[in-house]
Structures are given as C-alpha cells and as structure tokens.
Amino acid sequence: MSSIELKQQVHGFIEQADTKLLEKIYAILKPTIEQVQLTDEQKKELHSRKVKHLKGESKSYSLEEVKQLLKSTK
C-alpha cells in the first residue's frame, strides 16, 4: 500500500473513531510529533525563505511540476 493510500485509510478511520480510539492514536503520535524541534538557525532560514517566497523572489513548484522534475532526473 502506498503512503497516500495509507494516509487515506488512516484518515477514514479517524473520521469514524470514538473518543477512546482517538485518545490512543493521540498517545501514539504525540511523542513522535514533539520530537521535531528546529534550531534557531533553522527557524531563521525558514523565515528567510518564507519572506522571499511571499515577495515573489523565489521559485515555487506545483505538485505536478515536482513529479515531472523527479521523473526527468531518473
């Protein structure tokens, strides 16, 4: 099963889940999510990239463009 299919399945389960199941899912996911901590330097870099993007000073790509780029580099 692909990543996208797994996400769709999990999303479907979550939409139908009762409170007890949601609490269990949350307890499993919370430690993983909390482990992602950015350094101050990483935060500054992300902010800088965001500012450039909003000013139109950087190139952005659609999902389809990214897929094409990946296919062409194989």
The pLDDT value recorded for residue 23 is 93
Instruction: Report the alpha-carbon distance of residue 9 to residue 7 in Å, rounded.
Output: 5
Q: What is the mean pLDDT of each run of 10 residues along the chain (74 residues)?
A: 91 91 91 81 94 92 92 83
pTM of the model: 0.43
The pLDDT value recorded for residue 66 is 93
The pLDDT value recorded for residue 35 is 77
Instruction: Report the alpha-carbon distance of residue 35 to residue 38 in Å, rounded.
Output: 10
The pLDDT value recorded for residue 37 is 81
Contact 25, 14 (CB under 8 A): yes
